[in-house]
Amino acid sequence: MIEIENVTKVYQMGQVEVHALQGASLKIERGEWVAIMGPSGSGKSTLMHVIGCLDTPTSGVYRLNGVEVSGMNENQLAAIRNLQIGFVFQTFNLLPRASALKQVILPMQYSRNGQRVADVAERKRRAREALEMVGLGDRLDHQPTELSGGQRQRVAIARALINNPPIIMADEPTGNLDSKSGAEVLKVFRRLHREKSITVVMVTHDEEIGAQAERIVRLRDGLVTEV
């Protein structure tokens, strides 16, 4: 499903070139749960941004479902993100005054390529179903300040799922959570992976979190050093 070959990414920071990726290669099969791990500065977040079509490689090849995406423009990449990838970030990125239900409805109002759900009742039904899937069926009308950290992250997961993407990209999804809340979030990922065969690509620095995945990919100095 995901194939990158000799991918590099170079950032220009003033007069200095930062080589975040230096020829990384990796394959991820459909339905896998993969943890990307490495020390700070190893290139793991950059690799996730490339895989998630949030950034483009400086050189190399990236194929998603057999389609070359390395040279696509921003509009084409945005369409892929909207249809094929759901994102979960460490900081939740929830609207401060919106209910859990409204947070999850939002992507259906702005989706592309005919995927926009126009019917209000259908949006609510699908959002309610997604929240029930992550164990928040009794928190539909709660705002972020009325939810625990783990519950906020589960709202973010429901929002990522709402357009039925085959891939979930998670960047340190338990990084801001205590151990109990983190375990709840990982339980949700396990169930989604098992029951829906969603491909999960998770960036983490925590060995215990990484051990939950089927496979660990380790990066150092912009290169895949171990799979």
Give residue 218's domain range: 2-226
> Phi/psi zone of residue 35: left (φ > 0), alpha (ψ -120 to 50 degrees), beta?
beta
Q: What is the rounded CA–CA span in Å between residue 175 and residue 13?
A: 27
Q: What is the rounded CA–CA span in Å between residue 197 and residue 129?
A: 18
**Angle in degrees, CA 28, 213, 151, rounded to 5:** 115
Q: What is the pLDDT of residue 116?
A: 58
Q: What is the pLDDT of residue 26?
A: 94
Q: Which of 61, 1, 7, 54 is nearest to 219 (CA)?
A: 7
Number of domains in the chain: 1
Ordered mean pLDDT values, 10 residues apiece, the chain (227 residues):
93 88 94 92 90 92 91 86 86 90 85 59 89 91 93 91 89 86 87 88 90 92 87
Q: What is the pLDDT of residue 163?
A: 84
Q: What is the pLDDT of residue 83?
A: 81
Q: What is the pLDDT of residue 111?
A: 56
Q: What is the pLDDT of residue 114?
A: 44
CATH number at residue 14: 3.40.50.300
